[in-house]
Amino acid sequence: MQTNTDSGQPVIEISQVTTSFGDHIVHAGLDLDVRRAEIFALIGGSGSGKSTLLREMILLHRPDSGSIRVLGTDLHGIGDDETLALRRRYGVMFQQGGLFGSLTVAENVGLPLREHTDLPDTLIDEIAALKIAMTGLAPEAGLQYPSELSGGMMKRASLARALALDPELLFLDEPTAGLDPESAAGVDVLVRKLRDMFGLTIVMITHDLDLLWQVADRVAVLAEGKVQGIGSMVELEHMDNPAIRQFFDGPRG
Ligand code: ADP
Ligand code: MG
């Protein structure tokens, strides 16, 4: 089991990040830290900049200004070699799954291993099978194509791929969106298991209040380009910021 020797140092440090698209300001000086081995959630209304922030943390988009450090690496001015090295250390489960339709589940899960390692095919197949099992999918699911999977199976297959390279850090964009309550409940258990058994740090975007109450150690509420509050669900529930209250009381966006 992985232990957390350097739990003092944040895994992600975001400081004064600003992002605009044209004259639309999405992040207006945003600060937050994610600690090692915590389950951290980003919440906020539709369009509040959650996915954009995630894209910035995984080097798919650059903020206009401010600083983002991930696993000790400053993303500003990062070179190609450092980018490659960093990408090996985190896994991402995208909102739409992001699996290749022309490949089976096992081939999708093996892809990061083919791209980033020199392991022989037989070993890659074994690792892929292991990751598929870790997410609770049956071994036969490895032979299926994404179009043959239910929503819940698709999420698990996508998670198996995110776990392929044994990441330290896992990003999940809306892991329970579109799932029936039963499949969604399985995701709680899975997320907690990944943290408790493997010491993964997990950053997730979600609107799912059940999931937040079940697994999130800390939650940051985004609105109007800023973090409006950050804390456990119990702490947030007692904050009187209107943007936070809206999340607990009002319709969800
Ligand atoms: P969330 O995930 O919180 O719903 P997003 O980060 O996806 O929000 O989007 C935040 C805002 O930025 C939205 O108004 C969205 O339309 C806009 N936006 C996101 N990506 C782009 C882009 N590539 N070009 C233009 N506008 C974008
Ligand atoms: Mg989004």
Q: What is the mean pLDDT of the chain?
A: 92
* Longest Cα–Cα distance in the chain: 56
| C-beta atoms surrounding 97 within 10 Å | 17
Question: SS3 of 215, please?
Answer: helix
Please state, in angstroms and rounded to a whole number, the distance separating the CA atoms of residues 121 and 203.
Answer: 31
Please state, in angstroms and rounded to a whole number, the distance separating the CA atoms of residues 194 and 189.
Answer: 9
Give residue-wise pLDDT tens across range 164-207.
999 999 999 999 988 888 888 888 899 999 999 999 999 999 98
> What pairing do the DSSP bridges indicate for beta strands 73-74 and 65-70?
antiparallel
Reference 86, options 100, 68, 104; nearest CA is 68
Residues 128 and 143 sit within 8 Å (Cβ to Cβ): no
Residue 185's pLDDT is: 84
Overall average pLDDT of the 132-136 stretch: 93
DSSP secondary structure letter of residue 146: G
Q: Is there an atom of ligand 1 within 6 Å of 45 CB?
A: no
Overall average pLDDT of the 70-77 stretch: 95
Residue 181's pLDDT is: 84
| Cα 122 to averaged position of ligand 2 atoms, centre (Å) | 37
**Phi and psi of 197, rounded to 5°?**
-90, -35
Q: Is there an atom of ligand 1 within 6 Å of 100 CB?
A: no
2-9 LR contacts (CB < 8 Å, sep 24+): 2/198, 2/199, 3/199, 4/36, 4/37, 4/199, 6/36, 7/35, 7/36, 7/37, 9/36, 9/72
Tell me what percent of the residues of the chain surpass a pLDDT of 90: 82
218-222 LR contacts (CB < 8 Å, sep 24+): 218/35, 218/38, 218/40, 218/41, 219/40, 219/41, 219/42, 219/43, 220/32, 220/40, 220/41, 220/42, 220/43, 221/43, 221/44, 221/247, 222/30, 222/42, 222/43, 222/44, 222/48, 222/49, 222/50, 222/53
| Res 217 pLDDT > 70 | yes
Reference 227, options 20, 8, 1, 27; nearest CA is 27
> How many H-runs (helices) and E-runs (strands) does the chain carry?
9, 10
| Cα 169 to averaged position of ligand 1 atoms, centre (Å) | 24
Please state, in angstroms and rounded to a whole number, the distance separating the CA atoms of residues 204 and 46.
Answer: 15
Q: Is there an atom of ligand 1 within 6 Å of 63 CB?
A: no
| Cα 151 to averaged position of ligand 2 atoms, centre (Å) | 18
10 Å CB burial of residue 210 (0-12, 13-18, 19+) is middle
Residue 2's pLDDT is: 45
Residue 219's pLDDT is: 97
| Cα 143 to averaged position of ligand 1 atoms, centre (Å) | 35
Mutation test residue for ligand 1: of 17, 20, 52, 228, the one with most atoms within 8 Å of CB: 52
Q: Is there an atom of ligand 1 within 6 Å of 44 CB?
A: yes
Q: Is there an atom of ligand 1 within 6 Å of 51 CB?
A: yes
